[in-house]
Structure 1
Amino acid sequence: MSENKPVRRRRRSDADRSRTAILAAAVALLDVQPDAGIERIAEAAHVTRQTVYAHFPSRDALLNAVLDELTAETLTAIDALGLDQGPALDQVLRLVDLAWRAFERHPLLLHLPQMAGQDERHDPVTERLERLIRRGQRAGEITRELPAHWLVTTLVALGHAAGESVGAGGLSARTANKTLHTTLTRLLQPT
């Protein structure tokens, strides 16, 4: 029985490496070719299609795993910002800049259809954003005329609208980010 443990551990380790390779290949490939299929992703990961399907039963399951991976990456970067320090409005704009850097690094985020669990993926980000806005409201740095939850909802919607405009070719990423900064500053500043 103990002879099987190293074999099982090695298989698990191989499976973990395959899954990691598949996710990395999917992110890299989908950033440049958002409609890439499972076969192309398998080739990029140097695994078989069957290996991809063993980890992800469908392309949607793989896309959801990619989004989970990118969400975790983004949350780590957000937490590194130190949002509890400094002027709240400045921190909101830093968070927006971080989001734009994520779009620039991973253009696939601008091209993905609405996915299952997308709202849940936003929850940790919106919770941090709402905490930041409430801190700014308490300090008088952010308007108190509008509820914090409404401001968060509006910020997220404006961010999505800017992203959609970039994705559709209506604005460059730089112009969208600058426009978003101006809009958010005017929205959030007390009158």
Structure 2
Amino acid sequence: MADSHDTATPPRRRRSDARRSVDAILNAARVVLGERPDASMEDIAATAGVTRQTVYAHFPSRDALIAALIEAAAAEYLSALDAAGLDTAPPAEALAQFLDAGWRFLRRNPLLLNPTAPLAPRPNRNALSEVVPPRLERLIQRGQGTGDFDASLPAAWLTAAVIGLQHAAAAEVAAERLTTHEAAALCLKSTLRLCVGQAPR
């Protein structure tokens, strides 16, 4: 029994060590590429505290690393939406939480705000464009049903308009015409005027 236990422990330890290395590399890539989109794999390895060979052992190319970083960011964003109470909080509050989750996502992943960043193609799994709009549309429909949101416009149109507003606000941040805080405040005010018909108090 002792021999069986001893032989089973090392693989678990190796998997745990590998997971820590992957997490360290992704966190380093998030920081380094957010500051310098042209940073090398060597730069990322140095920030992660691992060797260049370790980075390539987990990510065979720079594009593979960036794709994994984007997928991890998408998973974090979806988790934030799950925790935002979109289906249970009062509609206007839920809408504010939806927008806030998006801004926290962008603040944590500044690479996605950089229009010059050489991003790899988005991974197909958990594609945000397929998952996020239906959640927002469901929230808007709920708000229209309770009388909190204007029901004179189609929920699908309001969904597209809200997402468009946030993209426009993010573009202003990327162009350094607004700070993230300013853009978030303007986006919330404009979104509530669009959906509710008035600015927040």
Aligning the two structures, in what range does the TM-score lie when normalised by the shorter sequence? 0.7 to 0.9
- Distance between the aligned counterparts of 1:153 and 1:35, measured in 2? 32
Partner of 1:162: 169
Contact 2:42-2:52 within 8 A present in 1 as well: yes
What is the deviation of 1:67?
Answer: 1.7
Aligned length: 191
1:125 to 129, 132, 135: 132
Instruction: Show structure 2 runs of 5+ residues with no match.
Output: none
Q: Secondary structure at the match of 1:30?
A: helix
Q: CA RMSD for the aligned pairs?
A: 2.5
Partner of 1:72: 75
Instruction: Please list the CA deviations of residues 34-73 of structure 1 after superposition, one character each: whole Å capped at 9, or x if unmatched.
Output: 3322111111112222221221222222112112222222
Distance change >3 Å, CA 57–CA 154, structure 1 → 2: farther
1:103-118 aligned at under 5 Å gives the runs 103-111=106-114, 112=117, 113=119, 115-117=121-123
TM, length-normalised to structure 2: 0.81
Partner of 2:30: 27
1:36-47 aligned at under 5 Å gives the runs 36-47=39-50
TM, length-normalised to structure 1: 0.84
1:1-191 aligned at under 5 Å gives the runs 5-111=8-114, 112=117, 113=119, 115-117=121-123, 120-189=127-196
Distance change >3 Å, CA 33–CA 9, structure 1 → 2: same
- Distance between the aligned counterparts of 1:81 and 1:67, measured in 2? 21
- Distance between the aligned counterparts of 2:13 and 2:120, measured in 1? 37
Q: Secondary structure at the match of 2:127?
A: helix
- Distance between the aligned counterparts of 1:20 and 1:28, measured in 2? 12
Instruction: Please list the CA deviations of residues 121-156 of structure 1 after superposition, one character each: whole Å capped at 9, or x if unmatched.
Output: 343332321221111121122222332222222222
Amino acid across the alignment from 2:101: L
Contact 2:37-2:111 within 8 A present in 1 as well: yes
What is the deviation of 1:75?
Answer: 2.3
